Amino acid sequence: MSDDNVEDVEAFRQRAREWIRANLRRADGPGQTLRGKDEQQDLAEVAREREVQRMLFDAGFAGICVPKDYAGQGLTPAHQRAFNDELVGYEYPARLQVPPMTPCMAVLLEFGTEEQKQRHVPAILKGEEIWMQLLSEPSGGSDVAGALTSAVREGDEWLLNGSKIWTSGAWWADWGLVLARTNWDVPKHRGLSVFILPLNAPGVTVHRIEMLNGNREFCQEFLSDVRVPDSDRIGDVDDGWTVGVRWLFHERMQHNSPYVTRPTGATREGEKGSILKVVRDAGRIDDPVARELAGEALEIGLVTEALNHRVARGIMTGTMSDQAAAVGRLLMCVSLSRQSTIAFEIAGAAGGAWADDDGEAAERGTDFLMRQTPSIGGGTTEMARNVIAERVLGMPREQALDRNVPFREVPRGSARQ
């Protein structure tokens, strides 16, 4: 930022603090969990989050790192971090951050036409449009570029057919970013294109998936002759993978993205409550074994957070390649998994059967069943390890049988489709 008029970070922090205290509600206890909830309650929470987003926008705190041309604040990541620090302990529009701000808005900002950006970015910052990504397909999770959803051109329109899966909140969101195949006669990475579409468009059917813990946030969408105007294409025809590579990068950035508003340290503490509360509610606060386990959970939480700061700074300053995001992601997933095991262990028998008044010791068994979720969603840890070995350390790529072959000739297992 060479602009001399940029507000000093500390002055901004002060202004943010005053506004947050005067306008936002204190976050009450543990934040959102993955447990199943009443549909009306879900919708009410989404409505409140849209409202909070609008308040942020009106107060000049939405899109802190988004250029002013698109109704953002045109400030720096340091300003966003200061805001996030001050947000600790307060409500925030959690559902509107990842994936709506990143990767969706980040991709729009990077690849959208001027018209697309003017139409959608301010609406996103106002909480009027909530975006989700229609990326994964039932035919394969990690092999994103192997998308089978097809887009066929008809005059000024495209006709989309296929199915997308693992879209969070598609049943209450507004718009989607879609990766589709536009050419089957070239190798897989060269026949893709990216489109945007309203989730209530004719031909889109949204099905809610029930997870093993009762959560029904994830959706599968069926696209049947969905018509998308060519003006809603992002990037060039058949060049969708150029967009896709950055899309995945913005997705890996997650909470390190400068577009994300979120209380600092929310992963570690805010969403699950302090691990020490689990120790206390399990009645083990004087048990040295439980205390040491809690110490380990704190240890890996602090280390993961420090690593994420380092990687974010490294990528921002160009001392690390974009691919280094996988390093932070890998450790974060492994750590979250370990923390879940630790909380379950500390809960003791309450991990297997609990009562409503068990406080933070309750539901640890459920969390444990869902333990692998972070290591799967947003790219598995196996993929992260491949990225680190191949892209960060420069080791030889895994053999792939779909390279330099027209996509329609690539072998598919019977489980695909």
Partner 1 sequence: MLLQLSSDQEFFRETTDKFLTDQVPVEVLRRLRDEAAGYDADYWRRGAELGWTSLLVTEKHGGGNISGNGILDLTIVAHEFGAHAAPGPLIATNVVAAALAETDSHPDVIAGLLDGSTVATWCIDEPGRRPLDVDVEIRVDGDDLVINGVKRPVEAAEQASHLLVTGRTDDGLTQVLVPAETAGVTVTAMRSVDLTRRFGAVSFSDVRVPRAAAVGEVGQASAQVQRQFHLVLALVNAESVGAMQTAFDMTVEWGFDRYSFGRPLVSYQALKHRFADMKSWLEAGHAITDEAAEELGTGDDRAAMLLSAGKAFIGDYGGELIQDCVQLHGGLGVTFEHDVHLYLRRQTVNRALYGTPSQHRQRLADLGQQRDEAAANKVDA
Closer CB to partner 1, 55 or 298, in the complex: 298
Q: Does 74 bind partner 1 (CB under 8 A)?
A: no
Which pair of tokens denotes residue 382?
């196996």
- Comparing CB distances to partner 1, the nearer of 147 and 279 is 279
100/345 Cα distance (integer angstroms): 35
Q: How far is the CB of 275 from partner 1 (least distance, A)?
A: 8
27 makes contact with partner 1 (CB under 8 A): no
94 and 130 Cβ atoms separated by less than 8 Å: no
Q: Which helix (H) or strand (E) is 205 found in, with range?
A: strand 204-208
294 binds partner 1 (CB under 8 A): yes
d(CA 107, CA 257): 12
Euclidean distance between CA atoms 307 and 382, whole angstroms: 19
* Tokens describing residue 396: 């030889």
- The least distance separating partner 1 from the CB of residue 385, rounded to whole angstroms, comes to 4
**According to the binding rule CB under 8 A, does residue 9 interact with partner 1?**
no
Pairing type for strands 131-134 and 175-181 reads parallel
Q: Does residue number 307 form part of the binding site for partner 1 (CB under 8 A)?
A: yes
Q: What is the per-residue DSSP string for 350-385?
A: GGTS--GGGGGGTTHHHHHHTTTHHHHTTS-HHHHH
Instruction: Map residues 363-402 to x or -, x wherever contact with partner 1 holds by CB under 8 A.
Output: -------------------x-xxx-xxx-xx-xx-x----
Separation CA 9–CA 320 (nearest Å):
25
Residues 252-291 that bind partner 1 (CB under 8 A): 274-277, 279, 285, 288, 291
Return the amino acid letter for 305.
Answer: E
Binding mask 312-331 for partner 1 (x = CB under 8 A): -xx--x-x----x--xx-xx
Quick one: 209 or 285, whose CB is closer to partner 1?
Answer: 285
Cα separation, 38 vs 355, whole angstroms: 20
Count of residues of this chain found to bind partner 1 when the rule CB under 8 A is applied? 46
Q: Is 311 a binder of partner 1 (CB under 8 A)? A: yes
Residues at the site binding partner 1, with contacts judged by CB under 8 A? 274-277, 279, 285, 288, 291-296, 298-300, 302-304, 306-307, 309-311, 313-314, 317, 319, 324, 327-328, 330-331, 334, 382, 384-386, 388-390, 392-393, 395-396, 398
